[in-house]
Structure 1
Amino acid sequence: MKDYTIDITLSEARKEKPVAEQLQFGKTFTDHMFIMDYTEGKGWHDPRIVPYQPLILDPAAMVFHYGQSVFEGLKAYLTKDEAILLFRPDKNMERLNRSNDRLCIPRIDEEFAIEALKQLISVDRDWIPTAEGTSLYIRPFVISTEPFLGVAPSSRYQFIIILSPVGSYYKEGIHPVKIAVESEFVRAVLGGTGTAKTGGNYAASLKAQQVSNLKGYSQVLWLDGVERKYIEEVGSMNIFFKINGEVITPSLNGSILEGVTRNSIISLLKHWDIPIVERRISIDEVYEAYKEGVLEEAFGTGTAAVISPIGELFMKEEKLIINNSQTGELSKKLYDTLTGIQTGKDIDSFGWVVKVN
């Protein structure tokens, strides 16, 4: 880890904290933020924690015009013993650097990035909610800041971390959601930016999500961008199907984002000796499994929602009701186990949890 000293300026005007039970996802932000600058020829420099505030950027800043940006998402939890826990932050910082590489953004020092977010969380520790299902969401991101209207990598960047106390990502919580199979738009293709966590991927997904929302569906199920038949992701999550006792998740194919929660779920299933396969799976295979009565469960996985059971798939003008629109036994067990480890309620036999203090 590079020897940086983080300058800390505390806010003199503290915000009123929201009622934990009324928290929505991503609507409220804490008193402070972390910022670090990059200048070509100088590298990353001037790490600091400052009061949460608007950014001042030139209108020609390249992020506005060419979308050179990446981000991550992870959570902090407060245990009953007042310890602050992070869940696999090393995996998030590894992925941030993979995204940086794809977007031609200079790599960050991963160990220092974790140390920076630890210090930021310590400053704003009073913002960590303790109500059931709540946590402190952490959003590290990098943006290009050079004022230049030319299509080329920027020579200047900012690495920023902001914090947000959150409730459930979906209003349904752990209860099953309804998903529409997307047949018109695509999320990503091999060789594109699907494996990077960059804003442009999400901007491109909004139209399909908007259309599905109007029809009463929470999210869309994305198919591959070439043959339009192989399943990739669900909304902004990885997806799993339990078919005739075996769990299947799409293999990482160069267009699917490698989720930290996905990786953790696979490890848990292997630990429990539950058959888990990473391979290509078509929407027709899922449809046939449904018709044969062997599609037992389906669920999405991601940092924000952790586990999101799927109770209905809308495809071919037909509603496929999965597990009677009830949360499946495996989905519930995975959710309880993973959140138990994350919050310190259960033993972490995998070495995933990192203490902040």
Structure 2
Amino acid sequence: MKDQQIEINLATTRKEKPDFNNLQFGRTFTDHMFIMDYTEGKGWHDPRIVPYQPITLDPAATIFHYGQTVFEGLKAYLTKDEKVFLFRPTKNFERLNRSSARLCMPELDEELALNALKELIRVDRDWIPNLEGTSLYIRPFIISTEVHLGVSAALTYQFIIILSPVGAYYKEGINPVKIAVETEFVRAVQGGTGNAKTAGNYAGALKAQEVSSKSGYSQVLWLDGKEKKYVEEVGSMNVFFKINGEIITPELNGSILEGVTRDSIIQLLQHWGLPIVERKISMEEVYQAGLDGKLEEAFGTGTAAVISPIGEFFWKNEKLIINNGETGPLAKKLYDALTGIQNGTLPDSLGWVEEV
């Protein structure tokens, strides 16, 4: 599979590009997409770049009925000297393969997948926005396509990559968001699919998000699915707390997604010599730290938003205000460091950036 040549079929007409000053996240897509097919016994085959277009599937395709799908999210950045950078892309394809293995889906050759992504970015390079805070969002995903009504792993799949120029994920940007602690619904449980990046995890989270949004909260803080006691994630992001000088993030336990940004934050903190601990942390501990004046900062981390400071928690009908509802110095420092490395304005001392 590694040696397969990527066929390129360029669009004869091009779309009108959006105003890069007014980008909505995930609403606009580039001129082309990458597709590759999988057939049991043949493996992955026919890698190609084609004009962006709808996918035609049979109504009995297994994706619609049994949910075999995994995806990733990463970004490409245009530097001031017109270079195109990817941030730790191999980590995303490694995680895509881990997600595929959990859902009994065929794994990809990671080198081929990365080469395909780079070729697609070269084709649609002029779609990468060049304004501060903007980037080209990349969505690789795999779907099962076999025409079959029966609960078993499919025999055919498609791997697709689409691209979208984006601005900030949250309209608040780097400003703090308000978070409701979810006590009724759960995101995932150990032994389930919480550590895989699969669509069902997000569909199951929508009801809690809908309820919290109606109350004026941007996202929910997820607690563990067994005791509803320990903090796991915030919205679709990993979460960090700074308590009495120590930075704490929930340890990976099988139901928490292993975020690339999470790992990068941990490495940055260690590189700076700051105390970072991965362990179980209860909402009771977080709340008490807030009452005692020891909860200095809280923030979510993920590819889309990078760093999203948390200014308020709502839990058991009580509001807990963090750092006077303002962005903390650590969250700001981490955001500036990560985005600086990503867009080439800061040196990449940890070797994370890969040029297209």
TMscore range, shorter length: over 0.9
Structure-1 separation of matches of 2:213 and 2:134:
25
- Residue in 2 that maps onto 1:277: 277
Structure-1 separation of matches of 2:317 and 2:279:
27
- Residue in 1 that maps onto 2:268: 268
Tell me the CA shift for residue 21 of structure 1. 1.1
- Residue in 2 that maps onto 1:209: 209
Structure-2 separation of matches of 1:111 and 1:263:
21
- Residue in 1 that maps onto 2:249: 249
> Counterparts in 2 of 1:66-145, with a 5 A limit?
66-145=66-145
- Residue in 1 that maps onto 2:341: 341
- Residue in 2 that maps onto 1:181: 181
Matched, 1:53 2:53: yes
Matched, 1:153 2:165: no
Q: SS at 2:174's partner residue?
A: coil
Q: Which amino acid aligns with 2:71?
A: F
Q: SS at 2:206's partner residue?
A: helix
- Residue in 2 that maps onto 1:228: 228
Q: Which amino acid aligns with 1:247?
A: I
Structure-1 separation of matches of 2:310 and 2:21:
24
Structure-1 separation of matches of 2:250 and 2:161:
31
Tell me the CA shift for residue 207 of structure 1. 0.2
Structure-1 separation of matches of 2:7 and 2:105:
24
Query: What is the TM-score with the length of structure 2 in the denominator?
Result: 1.00
Q: SS at 1:34's partner residue?
A: strand
Q: Which amino acid aligns with 2:287?
A: Y
Tell me the CA shift for residue 315 of structure 1. 0.5
1:85-105 CA distance string (max 9 Å, x none): 000000000000000000000
Q: Which amino acid aligns with 2:218?
A: S
Q: Which amino acid aligns with 2:177?
A: V
Q: Which amino acid aligns with 1:54?
A: P
Tell me the CA shift for residue 316 of structure 1. 1.1
Q: SS at 1:65's partner residue?
A: helix
Tell me the CA shift for residue 65 of structure 1. 0.4
Tell me the CA shift for residue 297 of structure 1. 0.1
Structure-2 separation of matches of 1:316 and 1:40:
51
Q: Which amino acid aligns with 1:209?
A: Q
Q: Which amino acid aligns with 1:45?
A: H
Q: SS at 1:99's partner residue?
A: helix
- Residue in 2 that maps onto 1:169: 169
Tell me the CA shift for residue 13 of structure 1. 1.3
Tell me the CA shift for residue 2 of structure 1. 1.2
Matched, 1:354 2:354: yes
> Counterparts in 2 of 1:15-54, with a 5 A limit?
15-54=15-54
Q: Which amino acid aligns with 1:23?
A: L
Structure-2 separation of matches of 1:152 and 1:333:
48
Query: What is the TM-score with the length of structure 1 in the denominator?
Result: 0.99
Structure-2 separation of matches of 1:41 and 1:229:
46
Structure-2 separation of matches of 1:88 and 1:155:
31
Structure-2 separation of matches of 1:222 and 1:196:
16
1:200-234 CA distance string (max 9 Å, x none): 00000000000000000000000000010000000
Q: SS at 1:333's partner residue?
A: helix
Tell me the CA shift for residue 274 of structure 1. 0.8
Q: SS at 1:324's partner residue?
A: helix
Q: Which amino acid aligns with 2:19?
A: V
Give unmatched runs, 5+ long, in structure 2.
none
Structure-2 separation of matches of 1:89 and 1:4:
20
> Counterparts in 2 of 1:294-309, with a 5 A limit?
294-309=294-309
Structure-2 separation of matches of 1:2 and 1:130:
33
- Residue in 2 that maps onto 1:319: 319
Structure 1 runs of 4+ with >4 Å offset: none
Structure-2 separation of matches of 1:312 and 1:291:
13
Structure-2 separation of matches of 1:341 and 1:252:
26
1:99-126 CA distance string (max 9 Å, x none): 0000000000001100000000000000
The percent of aligned pairs where both chains have the same amino acid is 75
Structure-2 separation of matches of 1:85 and 1:287:
40
Structure-2 separation of matches of 1:280 and 1:262:
15
> Counterparts in 2 of 1:278-293, with a 5 A limit?
278-293=278-293
Tell me the CA shift for residue 4 of structure 1. 1.1
Tell me the CA shift for residue 327 of structure 1. 0.4
